[in-house]
Amino acid sequence: MTSLIDQAADSQDLPVIDPHADSFYQDPYPAYAMLRDQAPVYEIPDTPGLFFITTWPLVKAALLDPKTFSSVMPPARRSDPPAEVADQIAALRAQGFPYAAALGTNDPPSHTRYRKMVNRSFTVRSLTWMEPLVDDVADQIAASLVDGSIIDAKAEITIPLPVWAIMRILGLPDSRKDDLRRWSDSATATLGGKLTAEEWLAAEADMLEFQQVISAELDDRRVNPRDDLLTSLVSAEEGETPLTNAELVWLVRELIVAGNETTIRSLADMLVYLDTMPGIWDQLKDDPKLCTQVVEEGIRMASPVMGLWRRVTADVEYGGVLLPENSTVFLAFSSANRDTDVFENPDTFDPLRANVREHLAFGHGIHVCVGAGLARLEAASALRALANNVTRIEVLDPQALRYGPSYGLRGLVELPVRIHRRPL
């Protein structure tokens, strides 16, 4: 069995794929289409041991096989800090809690313990108490939009909604709005991206501050319980060992990211797609159920979590390629969700698509995103609130839109739009 490095070398039709190239950040889909067709398991040439898996069947099968494809700290998941700041970063980390795998970088049985405790807070019943909080935030944001104004929709709509919502769900004070977004940005900064030395230091300082603030909040909930998510997380049922602050700060970090990133990024893309559909905001106002269909298709198309990394636990042949033990695979959700063998005309935004729920944007199996229900709730609430207030959100220059530098998390840097309010 040969590696795809060798196979690619023999192919004049398969150019080298560089996931850190700006062209890939801006539009990875042509490259993914080529890989699905010619090399569905592809070793990145300048990163030996990192394989991209791109078809829907292979991605889904890997997600259902955590024994072979482990979530425990795949080596390529994050980049290492530059050598010139390594000591400073180590000193910052020494002031906080040592890394503890929670959900995204854990396997059973440890993962099972965390998942059981978190699932209690994200049941359908739990989402019911969260919904009024989300709706209130969405209504405030939509009502504040000024007719004819030009705004950055990311800054004014798609960021405030999930950040304010998860803040209230956790039970954090309103004064933490800006902090929460900064912490979320820093938590994901090294996922599929490359930072400067200064950016590394800033991100680590943010994470230390986050740990200190959340640890103090957790201590307070044990003494003064409230009706919020932090109180739920410090509580344990009979026979359970309560999670410590050293464990919970990492779990809360994952929940904040899960509660922010998907909605922020996918909702921004949805606004772009919707502006290509004349009259859509009137349709959404008249048919609120259409909002849920738009959300599902928007999440499939955007796939803001472009994929997740897994560590191969033993030599295995997969998709016709030998994956060595301890190599890393990147399960490319964004590619799988545009697999022509599963989705007809996959590059077309079609909210009425019959099989849209077959997308893998939230993962699958034991690691399916715990915040998927909340992300769907937030996006649908935003669309309903906006539809009640606007006739159009006009994207000013679609060709000038830019995506941030990451192949792991994809999102627009900014989204300039003009607001067209409904007449009073």
Return mean pLDDT, the chain. Answer: 87
CATH number at residue 301: 1.10.630.10
Per-residue pLDDT of 61-103, as tens digits, reads 999 999 999 988 655 445 678 889 889 988 998 998 887 766 6
Contact predicate 6/321, CB 8 Å = no
Domain span at 147: 4-421
pLDDT for the residue numbered 46: 86
Looking at the 3D structure of the chain, how many domains does it have? 1
SS3 string, the chain, reads: CCCHHHHHHCCCCCCCCCCCCHHHHHCCHHHHHHHHHHCCEEECCCCCCEEEECCHHHHHHHHCCCCCEECCCCCCCECCCCHHHHHHHHHHHHCCCCCCCCCCCCCCCHHHHHHHHHHHHHCHHHHHHHHHHHHHHHHHHHHCCCCCCEEEHHHHHHCHHHHHHHHHHHCCCHHHHHHHHHHHHHHHCCECCCCCHHHHHHHHHHHHHHHHHHHHHHHHHHHCCCCCHHHHHHCCCCCCCCCCHHHHHHHHHHHHHHHHHHHHHHHHHHHHHHCCCCCHHHHHHHCHHHHHHHHHHHHHHHCCECCEEEEECCCEEECCEEECCCCEEEECHHHHCCCCCCCCCCCCCCCCCCCHHHCCCCCCHHHCCCCHHHHHHHHHHHHHHHHCCEEEEEECCHHHCCECCCCCECCECCCEEEEEECCC
Give percent of the chain above pLDDT 90. Answer: 56
Q: Residue 86 to residues 24, 83, 195: CA-CA distances in angstroms?
A: 29, 5, 13
Cα–Cα dist 74/312, whole Å: 8
Per-residue model confidence (pLDDT) at position 79: 64
- What is the reported pLDDT for 196? 86
Residue found under tokens 């944001």: 141
Mean pLDDT of 129-143: 90
Which residues make beta-bridge pairs with 310? 329
Express each pLDDT in 294-304 by its tens digit. 999 999 999 99
The answer to whether 42 and 52 are in contact (CB under 8 A) is: yes
Q: Which band of pLDDT confidence, cut at 50, 70 and 90, is reported for residue 121?
A: low
> What's the pLDDT at 278?
94
Edge-first strand order for the sheet with 416-421 is 150-152, 416-421, 390-395
Tens of pLDDT, residue by residue over 213-240, are 999 999 999 999 998 889 988 887 777 7
Residue 356's pLDDT is 92
Name the pairing type of β-strands 416-421 and 150-152. Answer: antiparallel
Stated pTM of the model = 0.84
pLDDT cut 70: percent of the chain above it: 88
Name the CA radius of gyration of the chain, rounded: 21
How far does the chain reach from its first CA to its final CA, in angstroms? Answer: 68
Dihedral, CA atoms, 53, 55, 61, 65, nearest 10 degrees?
10
Q: How far, in Å, CA of 410 to CA of 404, rounded?
A: 7
- CA distance linking residue 396 with residue 392, whole number of Å: 12
Looking at per-residue confidence, does 14 or 233 come out higher? 233
CB 62 within 8 A of CB 329: yes
- How are beta strands 150-152 and 69-70 bridged, if at all? unpaired
The token pair that represents 346 in the structure block: 């996959």
Does pLDDT of 12 surpass 60? no
Give the CA count within 13 Å in the CB-facing half-sphere of 282: 5
| Average pLDDT for 178-190 | 82
328-362 confidence digits (pLDDT tens): 999 999 999 999 999 999 999 999 999 999 999 99
| pLDDT over threshold 90, residue 270 | yes
- Assess whether pLDDT exceeds 80 at residue 150: yes
Q: Which of 326, 354, 352 is nearest to 342 (CA)?
A: 354
The pLDDT value given to residue 192:
58
CB–CB of 5/42 below 8 Å? Answer: no
